[in-house]
Structure 1
Amino acid sequence: MDTSAMSLKLNLWKTLLQYEFDTSKIRSQGYDGASNMRGEWNGLQALVIKECPYAYYVHCFAHRLQLALVAASREVIPVHQFFNKLGSIINVICASSKRHDELQKSKALEIKRLLELGEIQAGKGGNQIGTLKRAGDMRWGSHFDSVCNLLRMFNATRVVLEGIIKDSSVYSQRADADEAFIYLTSFEFVFILHLMKEIMGRANILSQELQKKSQDIGNAISLVSTIKVSLNDFGNNGWEFFFEQVKYFCAKHNIEMPDFGDMYKSGRYRPHQKDNHVTVEHFYRVDIFICALDKQSHELAFRFDNNATELLTLSSALVPRKQSDMLSIDQICSLVQKYYPIDFTEQEIIRLRYELELFNIEKSNNQTLSGISTISELCRILVESKKCEAYGLIERLTRLILTLPVSTATTERAFSAMKLCKNRLRNKMSDDFLASNLVVYIEKEIAELFDSKTVIDEFKDLKGRRAQL
């Protein structure tokens, strides 16, 4: 998060205190991993906890996932070098508007040729030209988009690099383009390019899910477990299919493949003679393919499982993974007494124990209740079926757990919207006008339902004025 967003949040907190906002009702807070936000001593979450000790902090799950991807990519040396090379290639191509235009022109000619050969089909919204995209460590999904864009623009990128090598009058530009061309057309680069597409593709699905508004913390933990299982399954059973894809791509683009039966030789990090027994196949299958997948699974486990608190245990206890399992009454009551002492009196905790006991009995006999898989679903069914009247304390507890923020994506987008509304041409916009514009932009789904005629009539009724349609 940038300093302007941090300053805004600090000012907001000071404003709430200034106007005597009831901070005792705050039960959760969520930010990214920046030290000025989550710092235990001087971070924003520390300022909030000083006023309200029960405003529990949760590190944004979408940010955790991005941090896990970046950390894992740095653990495997060839993968770390791949992203450096990927950045160099994109920098060479996107260094000027002229090269960017040449890239799109080359892609347009490629699409035209493939349409004439009948290898691709014409259609509305299909065969878009696109461009290359840089991977940013703090931008969600940017690694996946960067890899996919280069795969789609591979031929066009190679044509542009060849053109720079041949026609550029500046020797440094020719040298940079030649180095980028060698990277691009090497088997190792293409192999890792496809591997990152598979890994980042699975992670991108999780990232998109974690950024949704209607997401509870129990479901988020379940999604993380699912992606770890997917990565492990791909590592155990996906090699043959994956390698066939790489072979097909290399044959299509005339990229020379090494003999996988030869001994692998490299001066980077295998300088000892005792490693001469390592074959090329072992290097790509074990040292890159399996190692990269293991690092991803390990980082996901470290970033999420090790950061899980008893609050996550409480959320999972309310909705057991197996539908046949009963709620752990003793565990739930002890955690409620520990973490929400001002929301439940001693008498209510005693009543909660009996409510949970009755709920377990009804759950075993009610198909709707036994089929609940998330906390949000539990809360919704309790309200819709009016069972919240009988299980009021359980419903209160589910609402408290639902306040724990899974992601700050909605908030981040709200701050990003400021740059769209208050841009260089509208830099003198007043705060009230800016706030009104932001509300309409951020809540665009609601704003689209507004009828223009209704708005005009509303303004007309506020004050006598002429209204033009």
Structure 2
Amino acid sequence: MEALAEGELESGTSLNQEVDLGEFESDSDRRAEAIRILKWLKSFDFVFCLHLMIDILGVTDHLNTILQRKDQDIINVMNQVSSSKKAIQEIRDIGWEPLLEKVTLFCAKNEVKVVDLEYEYFNGYSRRRGSQVNNLHHYQVDVFKEVIDMQLQELNHCFNEANTNLFFCIACLCPSESFKAFDLQKIMKMASLYLEEFPTEYDLRVLEVELGNYIKDVREDERFNDLKSIGDLVKKMVEEKKHIIFPKIYLLMKLALILPVATASVERAFSAMKLIKTDIRNKMSDRFLSDSLVSYMEKNVLKGIGNDAIVTMFQDIRPRRVQL
């Protein structure tokens, strides 16, 4: 209006209508959306879920931070996994009343209406006809316990009894504190899982004898005193030619080192597949899918390859009528 009054815009039929109308509709839509979001943020439902996730994420975020650390040993990691499971289970068992109290105090402080837990649950759209579910049942069972059970199920899936025991067995190879974690029986249990590398009872028996000689050797060797991880131990064994003296133990250590990498690679591959093979591109061949997955997963390596090198490679694959 100011631009029209000052002559900066021409007035007339069909002039300025699209801009003015569009801005008005956009502002109106944003205003309505902001009001809707604000109303939701000030609801008891949002406050309750927010406090619940603070309690749960307080446990899982700490565990995630520990799992990300490269200098963390396996024993401490598995102990933290066990502690996290117990902490989440404790929230489920005795955490309802403290959570409800925190939510109620927060609502009172910030002028958020607290729902009556004895009233029938209403989701904001329609009441559940014929249902006897009240607010107490909804928030305690359908939200609180169900969310916690999902977290526990995910942890148990990632760290079930089988792979937890395997990681504890791997930890027995750790050289820290003069091979304090060494446990012959657990290491033999780990070896028995690799049937291709140790297919017979004779192979396991040879490994058991080799382990007995190995632990006496490295504990008496000062060159192995200050090692902290299995990776350091493998390097030192190669440097001192002990991988030749104890070949089966060296093989077992290599298996222990590649296990986390192999597991992570599989997870990365499935994650990448969800991005690459979508509903639109669900008919791509296996070869093209494999090449695309490698390109996606190793994108940091491919960044160092110039376009000219790629063009030259394709040009040299077979004779072409034109130069690429």
Superposition TM-score tier, normalisation by shorter sequence: 0.5 to 0.7
> Does 2:244 align with 1:389?
yes
Q: Which of 1 and 2 has higher RCO (CA within 8 Å, sep 6+)?
A: 1
**Structure 1 residue corresponding to 2:197, chosen from 322, 328, 343:** 343
Letter of the structure 2 residue corresponding to residue 409 of structure 1: E
* 1:410 Cα deviation after fit: 1.4
Aligned pairs for 1:178-217 within 5 A: 185-187=42-44, 189-200=46-57, 202-203=59-60, 206=63
Query: Structure 2 unaligned runs (5+)?
Result: 1-25, 122-139
- Give the match for residue 327 of structure 1: 182
Find 1:159's aligned residue among 27, 30, 35.
Answer: 35
> 2:284 & 2:145 partners in 1: Cα distance?
53
Q: How many residues are treated as equivalent by the alignment?
A: 269
What is the Cα deviation at residue 419 of structure 1? Answer: 2.6
Partner of 1:442: 297
Output the CA distance in 2 between the equivalents of 1:243 and 1:442.
47
Please show how residues 142-157 of structure 1 align to structure 2 within 5 Å: none
Percent of matched pairs sharing the same residue: 25
SS in 2 for 1:360: helix
The alpha carbon displacement at 1:399 in A equals: 3.1
Equivalent of residue 82 in structure 2, options 225, 233, 242: 225
The match for 2:268 is 410
Question: Would you say 1:455 and 2:310 are equivalent positions?
Answer: yes
What is the SS of the residue equivalent to 1:450? coil
State the structure with more CA Rg.
2
Shift of 1:159: 1.1
Q: Offset of 1:190 from its aligned partner?
A: 0.5
- Could you tell me whether the CA contact under 8 Å between 1:224 and 1:300 is conserved in 2? no
Residue in structure 1 matching 2:118, options 262, 266, 278: 266
**Normalising by the residue count of structure 1, what TM-score does the alignment of the two structures yield?**
0.41
Offset at 1:102?
7.9
1:260-299 counterparts in 2 under 5 A? 266=118
Q: Is the 8 A contact 2:63 2:80 kept in 1?
A: yes
Letter in 2 for 1:418: I
Going from structure 1 to structure 2, the CA distance change for 1:192 and 1:398 (only over 3 Å counts) comes to same
User: Residue 211 of structure 1 contacts residue 410 of structure 1 at CA under 8 Å; is this kept in 2?
Assistant: no
Which amino acid is 2:273 matched to?
A: F
Instruction: Please tell me whether the aligned partners of residues 237 and 243 of structure 2 are also in contact (alpha carbons under 8 angstroms).
Output: yes
> What is the distance in 2 between the residues matched to 1:415 and 1:287?
35
* Deviation string, structure 1 residues 260-281 (Cα, Å, up to 9, x no partner): xxxx963679xxxxxxxxxxxx
Q: Which runs of 5+ in 1 are unaligned?
A: 1-100, 107-155, 163-180, 259-263, 270-285
Distance 1:307 1:390 in 2: 31
Q: Relative to structure 1, is the Cα distance of residues 419 and 295 closer, same or farther in structure 2, using a 3 angstrom cutoff? A: closer
Deviations 1:204-260 (A, max 9, x none): 565698799xx9987874552353476589999xx99x98899668745x42469xx
Cα offset for 1:329?
A: 1.6
